[in-house]
Homo-oligomer: A and B are copies of this chain.
Amino acid sequence: MNFRDLEYLIALEELKHFRKAADKCFVSQPTLSGQIKKLEDELNVQLMERSSRKVIFTPAGLDIVAKAKTILLEAKSLKEIAKSHNEPMRGTLHIGLIPTVAPYLLPVIIPIIKQTFPDLELYLHENQTHVLLKQLEEGELDCLLLALLPGMETFNKLDLYDEPLELALSDKHPWSEKEMIDLNELSGEHVLMLADGHCLRDQALGFCFTAGAIEDNSFKATSLETLRHMISAENGLTLLPQLSIPLNRHQSGVKYVPFQSPSPVRTITLLSRNNSARQVCFDQLAQLIHTAVAERLAEY
C-alpha cells in the first residue's frame, strides 16, 4: 500500500469509472486496475463490485475510501510542515551565551532580532563556556555567542565583533581622571578577577600576566556586576569588556579608562556545529549582530 494507491482508490470512488479515474490520475487504465486489485489483495477485502456497466463500492470500500482521504490529508499536512521549515529565519532557536556577554549584548540585539525576524522564537541559555560547548555538541543548543578561545576549531565560527577591555576603577583612584592608559602601567598592581570557569577571568589573567600585574586573591567575583560594586567599595582595579561600560565612562562611583593601542581585546563569536542545518540562519543572525554592535560601539 502506498499513497498513490489511495489516490487511485479515491478517484475511482469519485468517478465510479476505471478509465476516467485513470485519466484523472494521469495513468493508464490497466495501471489503475492493477493497483486497485493489488490493494484489494493486500487488504484482503473486496472494495467494489465491477461489471462492464457499473462500479459499486462495498461498505468496506467506502469505509476505506474515507480513511484514505484522511491519510492523504495528513500527508499533505506533512509536506506543509516541511515547507514551513524551509524558511531559515523561522522556528525555535536555542542560543547559549556566556555570563560576561549575555546581560550586555542581549539588550543591544534582541529588539532588532525580534523586529527583523519576527518568526524566530528565541530561547536563551546562560552558562559558562565549557558547559555551552558540551550542550552545543549534544544538540541541546543550536548556537553559542561567546568569546573565541583556542580549542574551538572543530566548530563553525562567525566572528561578530572585537570587544576591547577597559580599566575599571574607583572614581577616587588617582588614575581615574586619565583619558587613556597603557596596559603596562598595571605592572605590580593588584587586580580583581572573576571566579574560576569564566573565560573572561582567564583572558584577563593573561593580559595581567603580560603586563606584570597581580591577581587580588582576597576576592573572586561571581559576576561582572559584583566585580563592579567591589571596585567602587574597595578602591580596586579590574578589566571590564566595553559593552558592560556606560557611555560616559563614569557611573555609581566607578570610572572606566580605555587602554592605549594595542588594547586588550576579546573576540565575540557565533559558534555552531559544522554540519548544522541552519547555517543560513546563523549567517543572517551574525550579520545582524555585527551591524547592531558596530553601531553601539561607535557611540563611545
Chain A residues packing against B (C-beta within 8 Å)? 1-3, 43-46, 48-51, 54, 56-60, 63-64, 67-68, 70-71, 74-75, 77-79, 81-83, 85-86, 91-92, 137-139, 273-278
- Shortest Cβ gap from A21 to chain B (Å): 17
* Residues A139 and B54 in contact, CB atoms below 8 Å apart: yes
Q: CB-CB < 8 A to A71: which residues of B?
A: 71, 74-75, 78
Chain B residue contacts of A46, Cβ below 8 A: 277
* A78/B68 in contact, CB under 8 A: yes
Smallest Cβ distance from A12 to chain B, in angstroms? Answer: 14
Which residue of B3, B45, B54, B85 contacts A85 across the interface (Cβ within 8 Å)? B45
Determine if B75 and A63 form an interchain contact, defined as CB atoms under 8 angstroms apart: no
Q: Which residue of B lies closest to A139 (CB)?
A: B56
Determine whether the beta carbon of B58 is less than 8 Å from that of A82.
no
The 8 Å CB contact of A60, one of B43, B56, B85, is B85
**Total copies of this chain within the assembly:** 2
| Whole-angstrom CA separation of A277 from B51 in the bound complex | 12
Q: How far is the CA of A148 from the CA of B48 in the complex (A)?
A: 27
Q: Point out the residues of chain B lying under 8 angstroms from A51, CB to CB.
A: 273-275
Q: Give the chain B neighbours of A63 by CB distance below 8 A.
A: 81, 85
**In the complex the two chains form, what is the Cα distance from A68 to B75 in whole Å?**
8
Which residue from chain B places its CB closest to the CB of A56 in the assembled complex? B139
- Determine the residue in chain B with the shortest Cβ distance to A67: B78
3 closest A-B pairs by CB: A60-B85, A56-B139, A43-B82
Closest residue of chain B to A16, judged by CB?
A: B139
Q: Which residues on B sit within 8 Å (CB–CB) of A86?
A: 44-45
Collect the chain B residues with CB atoms within 8 Å of residue A82's CB: 43-45, 60, 64
* Chain B neighbourhood of A83, CB < 8 A: 44-45
Report if A81-B59 is in contact (Cβ < 8 Å); known contacts: A50-B275, A75-B1. no
Q: Are A67 and B59 in contact, CB atoms less than 8 angstroms apart?
A: no
Output the nearest chain B residue to A49 by Cβ-Cβ distance. B275
